[in-house]
Structures are given as C-alpha cells and as structure tokens.
Chain A
Amino acid sequence: MSAEALTRPVAGARLGIRLWTREVVTLAVLLLATLVFSLPTIWLVLTSFKPETEYASYPIRVLPSALHSENYVLAVTIFPYLKFFMNSVILAGSFTILTVITSAAAGFGFSRHAGVPGRHALFALVLATMMVPGLVTLVPQFMLFSYLGLTNSYWPWILWGLSASPFHIFLFRQFFASIPKDLEDAAEVDGCGKLRIFWQIFMPNSLPAVAASAIFCFTWVWGDWLYPKLFLSDQITTLSVRLATSYVDPIGNPLYTVTMAAVVLYVLPMVIVFFLAQKYIIQGVVTTGLKG
C-alpha cells in the first residue's frame, strides 16, 4: 500500500508533464500553421497601405514606410465605388429576402406535412438538384433569359429568389424538424391555419436558420462573379465584377495597391457579418454538411 502511495503522485506528475508537453507542442504547431495560413491576408492588408512605388520595389519591402491611407480614398474616388457597392447590396438584398421566404416555406412544407402523396419523391428531387453541376442549368438558363430579353436586368435574380434554392430548403427542413410537434398542435387547436403557424410560430422560432440562410444567400450574390459577368452589362453589374478589372493606370496596368484597398473595403462587410453571426453560420454549415 505504501509503495502504491509513493508511486502514485510521481506517476501523476509524469503524466501531467506529458500532457503539458503535448499541449505546448500542439500549440506550437497551431501557431505556425496559423501564421503560414494568415500570410496571404497579412500581405493583402500590408499592401493596401503602401504607395505603388513601395509595392513595386526590389528587394521587396514587407512593411509600408507609414500607414498610407490614400489608397482607400483613391479606391472609392477614381471609380464610382459606391454605385457598384449599392448595386451589389440591392441585388444581394432582394435575392436574399425572396430566397429565404420561399425556401423556408418549402422547407416547412417538406417537414410538416406527414403522409402527403409525392412528398418524399419531391424531396428526393430537391436533393438531386443539389448534385447537378451549376453550369449545366446556367447555360440553358442564359439562352432562355436572353431569348426573353431578361438579361441585363435584375430579373433573373428575382426569379431565382422566387423559386427558392434546394440548399436552403434543405437547411430549413433540417431546422424545422427539431421544432416540437406540440407547438404546432397547440396552435392548430387554437384555430391557427398552416400559413399562420409557419409565419407566426415557425419563422420567429427559427432565427438561427433564418440568419444562416440569409447570410449564405447574401454572401453568395455578394461574392459571385460568374452570374453577373454573364447576365449584366458593366454599368449595372456588381462590385465583384468591377473589382476584377477596374483599377488601372492610363496605360492599362493594374494599380495593385489601390486594388488591394478596394478589396479590403469589399471584404470587410462580410468579415463583420461573420463575426456578428458566427454562431448561426457555423450551425448552418453543420446542419447542411453533416447529414447527407
């Protein structure tokens, strides 16, 4: 017994040291990985504060000589930044509102109507359309919309918004499945119709899903380059399309540092939204990404 009492704390201490070393090693690995991982972002921010001459100096300067904020002023003045920023906001905003409502409605339909004929087959269809390569539908949609004269307008986004999105239907269905049936039954006994149950009980109780869905919708349009590039003219297109080409000197060479300032301004709203709604975003990613 005495032998045991003697060895125990020693073993415990040894285990403690081992755990401690392990933690330190893990932390060191993580710090190194984070540094390497963050280098591109650090370089973006540093570049945005350099004058063009410092960017193009050899050997390269890592830090700007001073925090030159003039790139940020140039970024919003030498090109109608605000106009295209607003184009993005309007397009992304209207698409988001419509998609969230129609997708939530469809998600409610799929999760709350047990035993309706055709329900499972239609839901399988929703899942199947998530597998179809985007361009397979985009190219014929492009032909259709140009034939109808709807290109160079925001109509395609309105129509896409009105017709819900499989991914978001899936997200809402998964979330609604976790809302207790009792809540719905109680409302029904009180004489609530399905529409009121959906709008006044399910939607207000699904803030995380609504937030996640809205953020995914908004960031998709905000960040999309392909669709506005194909459907919209350079005058009414979104910031992302113009950002790819707009900052050039009179000869046509890219103004790298001004572009980087514009990129920072373009990314910043998304990063802020992410920090504010991190919890909901992660929950949304997990809900849709974990169960096939």
Chain B
Amino acid sequence: MAVAESAVPVVRRFRGRAWHETVSFYLFVSPWLIGFVALSVFPLILGFATSFTNYDGFNIDNLKFRGLGNYARVLEDDDVLYSMGRTLVFTALNVPLGIILALGLAMLLNQAIPARGVFRTLFYLPHVIPIVAIVWVWRIFVDQNYGLLNAVISLVRPDTGIRWLVDYATYVVVALTLWEGVGGGMVIFLAGLQGVPNELREAATIDGANGWQVFRNITLPLLTPVIFFQLIMSIIGSLQILVAPILLAGASMGSVPPRANYLYLVHVYVQVFANQRFGYGTALLWLLFAVVVVLSALIFKSSRYWVYYEVDQGGR
C-alpha cells in the first residue's frame, strides 16, 4: 500500500519531466517555428499557387487560373533553355575550379612555411568584402581602356584592349566568384586536413611513396567527405548566381546583362521584377528547385562510390 502510494507521484513526476522537456523544447524553437510557418511555408504555398495563375502584382481581383499554362510556356520560352545552358556553363567552370583552387591553397598552406597566417588571411579577405564592392573592384580591374588587367597583358602583348565585360563576361563572373569564394573553401579544407593523421602520411613516405602518391592515396580519400559537402553547396550556390551578373551589367533595376551572362535566375529576375510576371516567375523558380533537388539527390547517390567514410555506412 505504502509502496503503491509512493510509486504514483514518482511516475507522475517522471511524466511531468518529459512533459516539461517537450514544452521547453517547443518554446525554445517557437520563434523559428512560427517564423518558418508564416514566412516560409505560407509564402511557399502562396508561391506555388501563384505559379498556376496570371498574377502580375496588381490583378488580385481579376486573377485567372491557368492550370499548367505557366509550366507549358517554359517549353516555348527559348530564353529558359538558353539561360539554363549558360548557368550550366558557369557551374561547370566555377564548381571544379573552386574546389581545385581551394584544395590546392589549403595543401600549400598546411605546410610549415613562414608567414603562413598572413597568407591564409590574404586569401580569405575577399570573402568578407560585400558583393557591390567586389563588382566595382572587378569592373575597374578588367576595364577595356583603363583596367590593370589589360595593362599587365600589354606588357607581353602591347596594346591589348580586350573587352572583358563584353566578350568574356561569363569568365569575369567566374573569376570574380572564385576570387571571393576560394578563401572560404580553403579554410574548410584546412580544417579537413587537420583530420588526416600525420602518422599515415609519414608511414607511407617511409614505405617509399612520393608526394603525389601520398596525396592521391591517403590525403584525397580522407578528404572526400569534405569535398562532397563542398561540391553540393557549391553546385547549389552556382545555380543561383544572380547579383554579380546584374551588378556587372550596370546595377540599375532594368539593366539586363549581356547574353553571355543571361543566367537562369537573371531570366527569372527579369520576368518577375521587370515584367511583373509573378505567376510565370514562380513557375520558373519551382523548376529550378526541382533541378537542385534532382542534382543533389544524384550526387548523394553517387557518394557511396567515391566518398570515403571511416565508419561504415550503416553504423552512423
């Protein structure tokens, strides 16, 4: 009897504790949760619904349902395929170059060399510079007449006057993006390199492996999880490049980049904010989202063939 009496409050107290934990958890995450529902989920549903209408920002009273019309229109819009093609060109340049440069820098700066910290800081620095400033820097750097780049090239090939922003616009955006981003990747690879045990490399060197073999067979495999993460984030970021091409073209709302830099999101931006085609624009955005999801899923799937996990896959 006495036992039973005392057992009840204990059980209740335990239940009380779990209940308290739950309440506390939901209170702590409530700002995010409420904001997520109000500012993400709701707009996303709204946006998804909009993608089936002819909404132009003003015709809320006169809204027409167009079914899959906006999506069908994609097939007739030559600019969709064109801009997606340009975006893929940009991504194909930016992603591998970014990873190779960041990894190369990290390998160089992981060695014991003088002033290592200064070098690391210098390469990371562009990462803290705002995009508007970066674009200005590159605009005057690659200027056809007064830019330093053409002046430097003129040292070996006199009177060089390459119109970088006209004829090589995509490469300028690639260079600018790499310039800004390589430091961030370098820092992450440097941290990743900390996880490569020195003993392994030393053991391989003693066994007669040269520098390249050590890199190829020890460092690189151990870095694949980091490369994998960088690859995903870099691809997602590259597909969404928007501000740099617009600002390079002249910064005002209506300034459309040259055809080479007419990337996918630039097309969406023009459709939504210049032409007020909200319905069509959101349809285009959902298609991009689908592309991102499919690409990420493919890379995830492929990861089991090339990403090396120390713990076996199931045992996480």
Q: Is the CB of B108 within 8 A of A141?
A: no
Asked if A79 is at the interface of the complex by the 8 Å CB criterion, the answer is no
Chain A interfacial residues counted at CB < 8 A: 94
Whole-angstrom distance between the alpha carbons of A48 and B190 in the complex?
34
Contacts of A26 in B (CB 8 A): 108, 111, 113
Asked if B42 is at the interface of the complex by the 8 Å CB criterion, the answer is yes
Contact pick for A285, options B130, B188, B252, CB 8 Å:
B188
A268 CB, nearest partner CB in chain B, Å: 10
Asked if A84 is at the interface of the complex by the 8 Å CB criterion, the answer is no
Interface string of A122-141 (1 = CB under 8 A from B): 10011001011111110111
Contacts of B57 in A (CB 8 A): 143, 146
Whole-angstrom distance between the alpha carbons of A262 and B148 in the complex?
20
Asked if B46 is at the interface of the complex by the 8 Å CB criterion, the answer is yes
Contacts of A259 in B (CB 8 A): 136
Contacts of A200 in B (CB 8 A): none
Whole-angstrom distance between the alpha carbons of A244 and B135 in the complex?
9
Contacts of A289 in B (CB 8 A): 184, 187-188, 191, 229-230, 233
Q: Give B42's nearest chain A residue, CB to CB.
A: A144
Q: Give A147's nearest chain B residue, CB to CB.
A: B60
Asked if B314 is at the interface of the complex by the 8 Å CB criterion, the answer is no
Contacts of B188 in A (CB 8 A): 285-286, 289-290
Whole-angstrom distance between the alpha carbons of A259 and B152 in the complex?
23
Asked if B43 is at the interface of the complex by the 8 Å CB criterion, the answer is yes
B1 CB, nearest partner CB in chain A, Å: 32
Whole-angstrom distance between the alpha carbons of A270 and B232 in the complex?
28
Contacts of A47 in B (CB 8 A): 140
Asked if A109 is at the interface of the complex by the 8 Å CB criterion, the answer is yes
Q: Is the CB of B39 within 8 A of A271?
A: no
Q: Is the CB of B151 within 8 A of A41?
A: no
* Segment at the interface with B among A3-11, A66-74, A177-185, A225-233: A225-233
Q: Give B148's nearest chain A residue, CB to CB.
A: A43
Given contacts A117-B22, A266-B133, are A110 and B128 in contact (CB under 8 A)?
Answer: no
Whole-angstrom distance between the alpha carbons of A187 and B149 in the complex?
61
Q: Is the CB of B289 within 8 A of A106?
A: no
Whole-angstrom distance between the alpha carbons of A92 and B275 in the complex?
30
Interface string of A260-292 (1 = CB under 8 A from B): 100100110011011100100110011001111
Whole-angstrom distance between the alpha carbons of A156 and B247 in the complex?
23
Contact pick for A140, options B44, B111, B226, CB 8 Å:
B44
Asked if A149 is at the interface of the complex by the 8 Å CB criterion, the answer is no
Given contacts A163-B39, A274-B128, are A282 and B28 in contact (CB under 8 A)?
Answer: no
Q: Is the CB of B240 within 8 A of A135?
A: yes
Asked if A14 is at the interface of the complex by the 8 Å CB criterion, the answer is no
Contact pick for A260, options B28, B119, B136, B154, CB 8 Å:
B136
B119 CB, nearest partner CB in chain A, Å: 6
Q: Is the CB of A134 within 8 A of B141?
A: no
Q: Which of B18, B43, B147 has the most CB of A within 10 A?
A: B43
A101 CB, nearest partner CB in chain B, Å: 8
Asked if A205 is at the interface of the complex by the 8 Å CB criterion, the answer is no
Q: Is the CB of A270 within 8 A of B128?
A: yes
Contacts of B109 in A (CB 8 A): 30
Contacts of B44 in A (CB 8 A): 136-137, 140
Q: Which of A27, A139, A162, A286 has the most CB of B within 10 A?
A: A139
Q: Is the CB of A126 within 8 A of B32?
A: yes
Q: Which of B21, B29, B34, B293 has the most CB of A within 10 A?
A: B29
Interface string of B1-44 (1 = CB under 8 A from A): 00000000000000000100110111111011111101110111
Asked if A2 is at the interface of the complex by the 8 Å CB criterion, the answer is no
Contacts of B286 in A (CB 8 A): 136
Q: Is the CB of B187 within 8 A of A240?
A: no
Given contacts A60-B148, A113-B25, A135-B285, are A267 and B130 in contact (CB under 8 A)?
Answer: yes
Contacts of A241 in B (CB 8 A): 132
Q: Is the CB of A219 within 8 A of B128?
A: yes
Asked if A175 is at the interface of the complex by the 8 Å CB criterion, the answer is no
Q: Is the CB of B133 within 8 A of A131?
A: no
Q: Is the CB of B50 within 8 A of A34?
A: no
Asked if B121 is at the interface of the complex by the 8 Å CB criterion, the answer is yes
Q: Is the CB of B251 within 8 A of A164?
A: no
**When A and B form their complex, which 8 residue pairs have the shortest distance between CB atoms, in order from nearest?**
A163-B35, A223-B130, A109-B28, A140-B47, A140-B43, A244-B251, A113-B25, A164-B32
Q: List 28 A-B contacts (CB under 8 A).
A: A33-B105, A37-B122, A44-B137, A44-B141, A55-B146, A58-B146, A62-B151, A108-B28, A114-B21, A116-B25, A133-B239, A137-B44, A137-B47, A143-B43, A144-B42, A160-B39, A164-B31, A223-B133, A225-B130, A226-B243, A243-B132, A245-B251, A259-B136, A271-B128, A282-B187, A286-B191, A289-B187, A289-B229
- Given A43-B147, A44-B137, A47-B140, 15 more A-B residue pairs with CB atoms under 8 Å apart are A23-B111, A30-B109, A41-B137, A102-B32, A106-B31, A116-B21, A135-B240, A136-B285, A139-B47, A194-B24, A225-B130, A225-B131, A230-B273, A263-B136, A290-B192
On B, residues with C-beta under 8 Å from A are 18, 21-22, 24-29, 31-36, 38-40, 42-44, 46-47, 50, 55, 57, 60, 105, 108-109, 111, 113-114, 119, 121-126, 128-133, 135-138, 140-141, 145-149, 151-152, 154, 179, 184, 187-188, 191-192, 226, 228-230, 232-233, 236, 239-240, 242-243, 247, 251-253, 265, 268-269, 272-273, 278, 281-282, 285-286, 288-289, 292-293, 296
